[in-house]
Structure 1
Amino acid sequence: MTIELAPIPEHGRSGPVRLTRETRAALVAAAGERLVIHATADPDVVTIGATSWVGALAVPGLVVRVMPKVSVTNFFAMLGAGVSPDAFDHEHVTWSDTDELIDGVAYFAIRLIDSATMRGLVHGYVAREERMRTIRGRLLVEEFARRPWSAAEPQCRFDDFTADIVENQLFRCTLQAMLSWPQLAPHVRREALRVLGRFEGVADTPATKHAAALPITRLNEHYEDAMRLSRLVLQAMSLSHEAGDQQANSLMVDMDDLFQRWIAQELDLRLAPEMRIERDEDVWLDEGRALTMAPDLVVRRGSEVVLVGDAKYSMGADGYVASRDYLELVAYTTAMGLPTGLLVHCNSDRAPESEIVIRNAGTRILCRPIRLDGSYAAVCRSLDSLAELVRELVEAPGEFEVPALIRSRR
Structure 2
Amino acid sequence: MTIELAPIPEHGRSGPVRLTRETRAALVTAAGERLVIHATADPDVVTIGATSWVGALAVPGLVVRVMPKVSVTNFFAMLGAGVSPDAFDHEHVTWSDTDELIDGVAYFAIRLIDSATMRGLVHGYVPREERMRTIRGRLLVEEFARRPWSAAEPQCRFDDFTADIVENQLFRCTLQAMLSWPQLAPHVRREALRVLGRFDGVADTPATKHAAALPITRLNEHYEDAMRLSRLVLQAMSLSHEAGDQQANSLMVDMDDLFQRWIAQELDLRLAPEMRIERDEDVWLDEGRALTMAPDLVVRRGSDVVLVGDAKYSMGADGYVASRDYLELVAYTTAMGLPTGLLVHCNSDRAPESEIVIRNAGTRILCRPIRLDGSYAAVCRSLDALADLVRELADAPGEFEVPALIRARR
Instruction: Using structure 1 for the length normalisation, give the TM-score.
Output: 0.94
Structure 1 pair 394/130, CA: closer, same or farther in 2 (3 Å)? Answer: same
* 8 Å contact kept, 2:321–2:352: yes
CA distance in 1, matches of 2:369, 2:74: 15
**Separation (CA, whole Å) in 1 of partners of 2:287 and 2:147:** 63
Query: What are the Cα deviations for residues 251-275 of structure 1, in whole angstroms up to 9, with x where unaligned?
Result: 0011111100100111111111221
Aligned residues of 1:283 and 1:293 also touching (Cα < 8 A): yes
Change (3 A) 1:306 1:401: closer
Q: CA deviation at 1:397?
A: 5.2
CA distance in 2 between counterparts of 1:257 and 1:248 reads: 23
How far the C-alpha of 1:130 sits from its partner, in A, is 1.1
Distance 1:282 1:407 in 2: 5
C-alpha contact (below 8 Å) 1:110/1:192 kept by paired residues = yes
Residues 97 and 82 (structure 1 numbering): CA distance in 2 closer, same or farther, change over 3 Å?
same
Q: Once the two structures are superposed, what CA deviation does each residue of 1:137-161 show, in whole Å capped at 9, x if it has no partner?
A: 2222222222222222222111111
Whether the aligned pair in 1 keeps the contact of 2:305 and 2:401 (CA below 8 Å) is: no
> Are the counterparts in 1 of residues 5 and 63 from structure 2 also a CA contact under 8 Å?
no
Do the aligned partners of residues 393 and 402 (structure 1) sit closer, same or farther apart at CA in structure 2, a change above 3 Å counting? farther
- Any idea what SS the aligned residue of 2:347 has? coil
Q: Distance in 2 between matches of 1:407 and 1:360?
A: 29
Give the secondary structure class of the aligned counterpart of 1:87: coil
Q: Would you say the 8 A contact 2:80–2:88 is kept in 1?
A: yes
- How far the C-alpha of 1:236 sits from its partner, in A, is 0.5
Tell me the alpha carbon deviations over residues 328-357 of structure 1, each in whole angstroms, 9 at most, x when there is no partner: 011111111111111100011111111111
For residues 401 and 134 of structure 1, the distance between their equivalents in structure 2, rounded to whole angstroms, comes to: 63
Q: 1:405 to 1:222 in 2, by over 3 A?
A: closer
- How far apart, in 1, do the equivalents of 2:344 and 2:260 lie? 9
Question: Distance between the aligned counterparts of 2:370 and 2:85, measured in 1?
Answer: 20
CA contact 1:296–1:310 (8 Å) conserved in 2? yes
Please state if 1:306 is matched with 2:302.
no
Contact 1:284 1:293 in 2 (8 A): yes
**1:245–1:172 Cα change, 3 Å:** same
Residues 277 and 299 in structure 1, CA contact (< 8 A), matched pair in contact too: yes
Cα distance in 2 for partners of 1:401, 1:336 equals 8
Q: Is the 8 A contact 1:280 1:297 kept in 2?
A: no
C-alpha distance in 2, partners of 1:166/1:102?
Answer: 25
In the alignment, the residues of structure 2 paired with residue 138 and residue 409 of structure 1 have an alpha-carbon distance, to the nearest angstrom, of 40
Q: How does 1:1-150 map to 2 (within 5 A)?
A: 10-150=10-150
Q: Which runs of 5+ in 2 are unaligned?
A: none
- Measure how far apart 1:131 and its partner are: 1.4
Deviation at 1:280? 3.8
Q: Is the 8 A contact 1:309 1:344 kept in 2?
A: yes
User: Cα gap change, 1:331/1:5 in structure 2, threshold over 3 Å: closer, same or farther?
Assistant: farther
Residues 236-245 or 396-405, more deviating: 396-405
Task: Quote the sequence identity (%).
Answer: 98
Matches within 5 A, 1:340-379: 340-379=340-379
Structure 1 match to 2:295: 295
**Deviation sequence 1:356-404 (CA, Å, 0-9, x none):** 1111211111110000011110000000111111112222357999999
Aligned to 1:328: 328
Over residues 35-57 of structure 1, what are the superposed CA-to-partner deviations in whole Å (9 max), with x where a residue is unaligned?
11122232222211111111000
> Normalized against structure 2, the TM-score is what?
0.94
In the alignment, structure 1 segments of 5+ residues that lack a partner are: none
Q: Return 8-17 or 164-173, whichever deviates more.
A: 8-17
Note closer, same or farther for the CA distance 1:273–1:7 as it changes in structure 2 (3 Å cut): farther
Query: Secondary structure at 1:253's aligned position in 2?
Result: strand
Q: Is the 8 A contact 2:339 2:399 kept in 1?
A: no
- Contact 1:29–1:243 (8 Å) recurs in 2: no
Cα distance in 2 for partners of 1:94, 1:406 equals 40
Shift of the 404–95 alpha-carbon distance from structure 1 to 2, 3 Å rule, reads farther
SS at match of 2:9: coil
Looking at structure 1, the residues matched to 301 and 38 of structure 2 have their Cα atoms a distance apart, in angstroms, of 48
CA contact (8 A) 2:304 2:402 kept: no
Query: Root-mean-square deviation (CA), in Å?
Result: 5.5
Indicate how the Cα distance of structure 1 residues 286 and 406 shifts in structure 2: closer, same or farther if over 3 A, else same. closer
Runs of 4+ in 1 over 4 A off after TM superposition: 1-9, 397-410
3-state DSSP of counterpart to 2:320:
coil
Greater CA deviation, 386-395 or 179-188?
386-395
